[in-house]
Amino acid sequence: MAAVLTWVALLAGCSAGGSGPLGLGGAFGVGSELGRPPAPEDVIHVTPDDDSKGVRPEQRLRVRVPDGRLEKVTVVKSQDAQDSPVPGRIGADGRTWRPDEDRLALAAKYTVDVVALDADGRRSARHTTFTTLVPEERFIGYVTPENRAVVGTGMIVSLSFSREITDRAAVERAVRVSAQPPVEIRPHWFGGSRLDFRPEQYWKPGTEVTVDLNLRDVQGAPGVYGLQDKTFAFTVGRSQVSLVDAARHTMQVRRDGRLLATVPVTAGAPGNPTYNGKMVVMDMLDVTRMNSHTVGFGGEYDIPDVPHAMKLTDSGTYLHGNYWSPDAPGRVNVSHGCVGLRDVKGGSSATPAGWFFDRSLIGDVIEVVGSRERTVAPDNGLGGWNMTWQEWKAGSAVK
Active site residues: 320, 338
8 Å CB contact between 191 and 398: no
Per residue, the 3-state secondary structure of 45-101, as one string, reads: EEECCCCEEEECCCCCCEEECCCCEEEEEEEEEEECCEEEECCEEECCCCCEEEECC
CA atoms lying within 13 Å on the CB side of residue 220: 28
Annotate 214-269 with DSSP letters as a single string.
E-TT-EEETTEEE--EEEEEEEE---EEEEEETTTTEEEEEETTEEEEEEEEE-B-
195-198: long-range contacts at Cβ-Cβ below 8 A with a sequence spacing of 24 or more? 195/141, 195/158, 195/159, 195/161, 195/165, 195/168, 195/171, 196/156, 196/157, 196/158, 196/159, 196/382, 196/384, 197/156, 197/157, 197/158, 198/156, 198/157, 198/384, 198/385, 198/392
Residues, the chain: 399
Pairing outcome for strands 318-322 and 339-342: parallel
274: left (phi over 0), alpha (psi -120 to 50) or beta: beta
Surface-to-core class of residue 273, CB atoms within 10 Å of its CB (0-12 exposed, 13-18 middle, 19+ buried): buried
- CA–chain centroid gap for 194, Å, is 11
Answer whether the bond into residue 85 is a cis peptide, omega within 30°: no
